[in-house]
Amino acid sequence: MPGYRIFNPALQSKKFDPDGTYIRRYVPELARVSAKRIHELHLMTADEQERAGCRIGTDYPSPIVDHQLARQEYLNLGKQEATR
């Protein structure tokens, strides 16, 4: 289906809550996470997690889906359907 869009939660979060104000207000576990990492917590180093007092997988859940991988898999499915 040409022209469809794939929603990217990290990009939307950066666009509409660039400093993470909303996130910090409603997710207190993330209150001390840096603005650089607030939208992509899985990229925090162990040192960054320690400074923020938020260990991914312990204090806050690990990502369930790798968005980049899932996006590519979905696009590949679309290509397969288009060749049928």
**Which range of residues forms the domain containing residue 49?**
9-82
Judge whether 27 lies within some domain: yes
Residue 68 lies in a domain: yes
Q: Tens of pLDDT along 26-79?
A: 999 999 999 999 999 999 999 999 999 999 999 999 999 999 999 999 888 877
In a domain, 52, yes or no: yes
Residue at 74 is within a domain = yes
pTM: 0.77
Q: How confident is the model at residue 14 (pLDDT cuts 50, 70, 90)?
A: very high
Beta bridge partners of 60: 56
The answer to whether position 66 is within a domain reads yes
Q: Give the pLDDT confidence of 2-12 residue by residue, as tens digits.
A: 566 888 999 99
Res. 84 pLDDT band, cuts 50 70 90: low
Q: Which CATH number does the domain housing residue 50 bear?
A: 1.10.579.10
Q: CA distances (Å), 55 to each of 8, 19, 21, 28, in order?
A: 24, 20, 20, 13
- Cα-Cα-Cα-Cα torsion 23, 53, 49, 9, nearest 10 degrees, comes to -10
Torsion of CA 12, 13, 15, 16, to 10 degrees: 110
What total of structural domains would you count in the chain?
A: 1
